[in-house]
Amino acid sequence: MQQIDAQSFKSRLLSGEPLNVLDVREEIEYLTYNIGGKNIPLSKLTEKLSLVHPNKTEEIIVICKAGLRSQTAQTILMQNGFTNIINLTGGLLALQKLQA
């Protein structure tokens, strides 16, 4: 399974590169703090697969708080035909540690 570390992800974000980010935290977590991207909670992902992205071969970076829910989401997406799913290891916590 493909992974991206917080430093590499941050570099890509800051470069202005257009990224497809899927945040799988619950809506209240997303509203409290987010870095953008589409929010589809892991608990609703299977029923909302059609909202993820129309192109199943395009890169999607899946994020959550610590990297565990996003890893589960990565598996679900791959089982449903998405082929270029990358998990942010350590999640948003790892990203926030870089800014501290």
Structural domain boundaries, residue 22: 2-99
Could you report the per-residue pLDDT of 57-90, keeping only the tens digit for each? Answer: 999 999 999 999 999 999 999 999 999 999 999 9
Whether the per-residue pLDDT at 100 is higher than 80: the answer is: no
Q: Which pLDDT score is estimated for 99? A: 77
What average pLDDT does this structure show over 37-45? 97
Residue found under tokens 């679900």: 76
**Which CATH number fits the domain that encloses residue 26?**
3.40.250.10
How far apart (Å, rounded) are the C-alpha atoms in residues 47 and 31? 21
What band does 18 get if pLDDT is binned at 50, 70 and 90? very high
pTM of the predicted structure, to 2 decimals: 0.96
Q: Which pLDDT score is estimated for 29? A: 98
**Checking DSSP bridges between strand 21-23 and strand 38-39, what pairing results, if any?**
parallel
Helix extents (H) in the chain? 6-14, 27-32, 42-45, 68-79, 91-99
- What is the residue type of 60? I
State the burial class of residue 62 (Cβ atoms within 10 Å of its Cβ: 0-12, 13-18, 19+).
buried
What average pLDDT does this structure show over 2-12? 97
Q: Name the domain count of the chain.
A: 1
